[in-house]
Amino acid sequence: MPGTLLDARAFDETCDAVDDVNVLKSEIWNSKSEFDAQKDKTQFRRYEEACDRVKNFYREQHENQTVEYNIKARVEFKSKKRARMGVWEAIEMLNTLVDESDPDTSLSQIEHLLQTAEAIRRDGKPEWMQVTGLVHDLGKLLFLFGSEGQWDVVGDTFVVGCKFSDKIIYPDTFGNNPDSYDPVYSSEYGIYRPNCGLDNVMLSWGHDEYLYNVLKDQSSLPAEGLAMIRYHSFYPWHRENAYNHLTSPKDLKILEAVRAFNPYDLYSKSDAPCDVEKLKPYYQRLIAKYFPPVLDW
């Protein structure tokens, strides 16, 4: 049952293991990232050296992320409210999950969120991008709200409803996904039209897609901020250039935004811990600027 001490520990360990092998290359929001100039980027997303936990996680994810499941997940999202709370309360709730797990983990969720936001802030990026960094992983609350497991919360995302791209990590593990043998879902375009645009495709359900759906009508974040949230785990697209046959000209601007954001998400994990209480007033001010006091989750 998600939410127990054992499940919380396993969730946190999987998140850490997946994050440990994650990256991208890529003052005004779309200027070059400066904070990560000295970081060794070859140490990220080394999936060939990943531990069994990561490999087993992706095998489970790839077997279970079907069109049928994704439709069900979206229907459930629209049919019920999981909580009503403010953004900072949600941050503290997510951090509770980490506090209940292995105390030897290198980062708590709140540290990762603040490190991401602070790296963006130090590079002189706008306030909306800073607060996007602060909230980008709040979709992991799904684990506390009764997810199926970890496979529908974390990990890289990909398109369902058409042929699984060979640019997805561990593509061979889709062998047990029934959509791989469906004559429509396994075709190049599947249920989509050529260059229909990412707004019109279904991404595998997880914390990115969930949080995007929570915030798109409950925040004043610009389109670029919402795209950073929705697509930051969509590595087959923004790193490997997959799905060009489905993207539209509008998606090129979105791609620029996601690539501008991802260095802060990935490389900030090696930064020094943040002073939460010292930073809290600054980010509470930003939260009040871009979000209502209470949101439906």
- Identify the residue whose tokens are 């061979």: 172
Would you state the pLDDT for residue 276?
93
Would you state the pLDDT for residue 272?
73
Taking residue 177's Cβ as centre, other Cβ atoms within 10 Å add up to 21
Residue 6 lies in a domain: no
Would you state the pLDDT for residue 114?
94
d(CA 179, CA 162): 8
* 190-209 per-position pLDDT tens digit: 999 999 999 999 999 999 99
d(CA 257, CA 251): 10
Average pLDDT over residues 199-221: 97
Average pLDDT over residues 175-203: 98
On the question of pLDDT at 51 being above 90, the answer is no
On the question of pLDDT at 36 being above 70, the answer is no
Residue 107 lies in a domain: yes
Counting residues of the chain whose pLDDT is more than 90, the rounded percentage is: 69
Rg (CA), the chain: 18
Residue 64 lies in a domain: yes
Residue 18 lies in a domain: no
What value does the mean pLDDT of the chain take? 86
d(CA 161, CA 186): 7
Virtual torsion, Cα 151, 157, 161, 162, nearest 10 deg? -130
Nearest to 196 by CA among 238, 249, 246, 231: 246
d(CA 211, CA 87): 12
In which domain, by residue range, is 167 found? 55-292
Binding-site residues for Fe cation, in ranges, read: 112, 136-137, 207, 232, 265
Nearest to 30 by CA among 109, 96, 129, 107: 129
Residue 5 lies in a domain: no
On the question of pLDDT at 135 being above 50, the answer is yes
Residue 89 lies in a domain: yes
Would you state the pLDDT for residue 267?
74
Query: Which residues lie below 8 Å from residue 172, measured CB to CB, with a gap of 6+?
Result: none
On the question of pLDDT at 106 being above 90, the answer is no
Residue 2 lies in a domain: no
* 245-266 per-position pLDDT tens digit: 999 999 998 999 999 999 998 8
On the question of pLDDT at 45 being above 50, the answer is no
d(CA 118, CA 112): 10
Binned at pLDDT 50, 70 and 90, residue 140 comes out as very high
Would you state the pLDDT for residue 269?
65
Residue 37 lies in a domain: no
Burial of 170 (0-12, 13-18, 19+ CB in 10 A): middle
Average pLDDT over residues 223-250: 97
b/e per residue, 39-59, with b = 16+ CB within 10 A? beeeebbeeeebeeebeebbb
More confident residue, 161 or 7: 161
Binding-site residues, in ranges, read: 45, 99-101, 112, 136-137, 140, 155-156, 207, 232-233, 265
- Number of domains comprising the chain: 1
Binding-site residues for substrate, in ranges, read: 45, 99-101, 140, 155-156, 232-233
pTM for the structure as a whole: 0.83
